[in-house]
Structure 1
Amino acid sequence: MKHHARLPLAAVFALGIAPLAAQADALEQQLDDLQGFQIIAHRGASGYAPEHTWFAYDKARDMGADYLELDLHMSADNQLVAIHDDTLERTTNGEGNVKDHTLEALKALDAGSWFNQAHPEYANDDYAGAKLLTLDEVIDRYGDSVRYYIETKSPDRYPELQRALVETLEAEGLVDAGAVVIQSFSQDSLKQIHELNADIPLVQLVWYSTAEDGDGLVEWTGVTPAPSEITDADFQAIADYAVGIGPNVTYEGQDVIDAGFVDQAHANGLLVHAYTINEPDAMQRLLDWGVDGMFTNFPDRLNSIAE
């Protein structure tokens, strides 16, 4: 894995480099780094520890992940909380929608015990009682020592989320530090973020599945046609606001994209970050296709193959 050294801010100021130039350099460095292969820790090292907890994030860092992936929802009191599902049942001992609970109520939940039951081969008594985390807590712990790959949900669900997120990232200096990518299945969400801060690299997620009538493939939100019908113009429309596209690779065991999809995306100036790839043979196949990054629950596996 090639990682580019980044000057600490103290060194930047010691060298007399203007802060604006330093910001531009950090952003430019991030875009340069994105041209290399990126290991994106899906909800942290979520194959080994309960997703979106300190256990999963710390493991991901230790395993050489380039980015920590965070899914964000909002609490009833408008706090940004790292959790994948809209609801609490799968990954906590709570019930109902995340957005219907205050942060205090969410913090009282056990977000770790479920993992020990679901994955006994990786169970650890320490995971019991793990807490849900806010975006602020994650940033306070890691600062810009890691990069964050943040997923936003649909704006109709959380109309305040986009602005709250961008304001937080700006206030913490993470955009200027070149430390964040934002992804979404919602084109509307990404376009809102692009209007709020055009410096943030964006990735358009897509989900290809079999059409209801069984005839061919469709993309979940209609952001592109089926891969077999996709045109350069479809990729260029995404490239107007995003640096990359994030596709699923298979659906019900069948490939939905191929090496040609990757090549066509590249020809239209887009990176390709595939999700969610956990088996070594699949990782190697996608490396052979030339993808620019992968989401994985097992960052150590991908790190050993991508080196």
Structure 2
Amino acid sequence: MAKSPKYSDPKVLAAISGLMFRARHVVEGTISGLHKSPFHGHNVEFAQYREYSPGDDLRRLDWRVVGRTDRFYIKQYEEESNLQATIVMDASASMKYGSGPLTKFEYAATLAASLASLLIEQGDPVGLALFDNQQRRVLPPAATQSQLALIIGHLEEAQPDRETDLGTVLQTLGDQLKRRGLVVVISDLLTELPSLFDGLDRLRHRGNEVLMIHVLDSDELELPFNDYVLFRDIEGTEEFMAEPWAFRKAYCAAMQDFIAEIKEGCGRRGIDNLLLRTDQELAEGLSHYLHARERLQHIHRKGRR
């Protein structure tokens, strides 16, 4: 599948180039000191091959593979295998909404492609799970440029549809993941929050680190309409005419309560929660978060010395 530039934004990639997306918690994996492994001192087993990079220990080269392929591959063992990341991407009907140049889905897909590019660039396998009220497609993690092309291709082919049931999807995914790792959830989170938190609990209980990226349109945050508006349930069939100015204050208060509940629920579970709005420059929002994450981890490492 040929790589398409649709969700590969050079501005975003330039803003995050040179940054590292390190695991904050202990997960199964390490690469060149980036990620910590909880299995030091245990017997290690062969896991996979990866291409040689300058600075790798030459004693790990598999010369039989070199002789057969004329390419240099390093033997990689379970203790030193890379961080495994899975991007969980909302493809439900509510993600079709957009008041600006990009819909929520297009904004989120560009974000997903950018994170996948960053992870693969630093050598970490990354997979993709598309969902609405169930998993649509799961792409197992890999750390190759062809994997990035597959991820972008799947995002381009996706048509946001049906209702959202993120909680059930996360619980199912928690049972499917064979290794602990990083799970990045990108969604507008317009779903049942008790079920969502149950799904997050399942992932955390199994030792995964979770990053929640909450994507909303400015219309959803501010309800800026001044004329009579036909409101339609984008994931259902209900619709009604209303005067937005009559209930704007109550609506905005309810939306802030909704955002606060998500923030508080994620905080109690040790989950990073990043809110991005589609009228915000993605390059700015993502690079700011990654820089802040790096600074906090640097402070944490210094504090442990």
Q: TM-score, normalised by structure 1?
A: 0.35
Q: Which has a greater percent of helix?
A: 2
Q: Which has the larger radius of gyration?
A: 2
Q: TM-score, normalised by structure 2?
A: 0.35
